[in-house]
């Protein structure tokens, strides 16, 4: 689909510049906190009633239960960049993560290969680890 021009001019003051926070729906905040902290190794920030917050680079993750039944389903894929996908995959396997596949090349460019491997958190939210490996 071709990009369409907007009737409104794009202004740096209102254009999003980065992802600031991602809400991840979970069924058990304590169980999810342990997974994101102890298995994935994300930096735990703080708890609030029914919520837990983590930092992943410039993006903050907020774990929460679904506010309404229609929101109670797995979320969109989140792609997490790692420096060494093979090492990250082995470490997470050792911590009990069940992967959908093994690290594999999904794209080859002139200067890099894009590697990915897919898994779910305990609540069925889908994730991928990704590495851009220079060739």
For residue 32, what is the domain's CATH number? 3.10.180.10
Regarding whether 58 and 106 lie in a shared domain, the answer is no
- Report the DSSP beta bridge partners of residue 22: 61
Domain end position, chosen among 7, 32, 66: 66
Other CB atoms within 10 A of residue 128 CB: 19
What's the predicted TM-score (pTM) here?
0.76
Which residues span the domain enclosing 58?
Answer: 19-66
Taking CA atoms, 45 is separated from 19, 59, 107, in Å, by 17, 12, 35
Q: Residue 95 — φ and ψ, nearest 5°?
A: -95, 10
Q: How far apart are CA 121 and CA 32, in angstroms?
A: 8
Q: What mean pLDDT value characterizes the chain?
A: 89
Tell whether 4 is covered by a domain. no
Quick: pLDDT tens for 30-67: 999 999 999 999 999 999 999 999 999 999 999 999 88
CA atoms in the 13 A half-sphere facing the CB of 65: 11
Can you tell me the distance from the alpha carbon of 83 to that of 18, in angstroms, rounded to the nearest whole number? 21
């Amino acid at each position: 689909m071709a990009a369409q021009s907007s009737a409104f001019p794009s202004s740096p003051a209102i254009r999003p510049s980065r992802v600031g926070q991602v809400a991840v729906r979970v069924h058990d905040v304590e169980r999810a906190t342990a997974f994101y902290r102890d298995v994935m190794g994300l930096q735990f920030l703080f708890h609030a009633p029914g919520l837990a917050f983590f930092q992943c680079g410039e993006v903050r993750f907020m774990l929460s239960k679904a506010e309404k039944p229609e929101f109670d389903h797995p979320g969109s894929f989140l792609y997490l960049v790692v420096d060494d996908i093979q090492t990250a995959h082995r470490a997470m396997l050792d911590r009990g993560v069940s992967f959908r596949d093994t690290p594999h090349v999904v794209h080859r460019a002139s200067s890099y290969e894009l590697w990915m491997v897919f898994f779910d958190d305990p609540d069925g939210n889908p994730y991928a680890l990704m590495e851009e490996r220079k060739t």
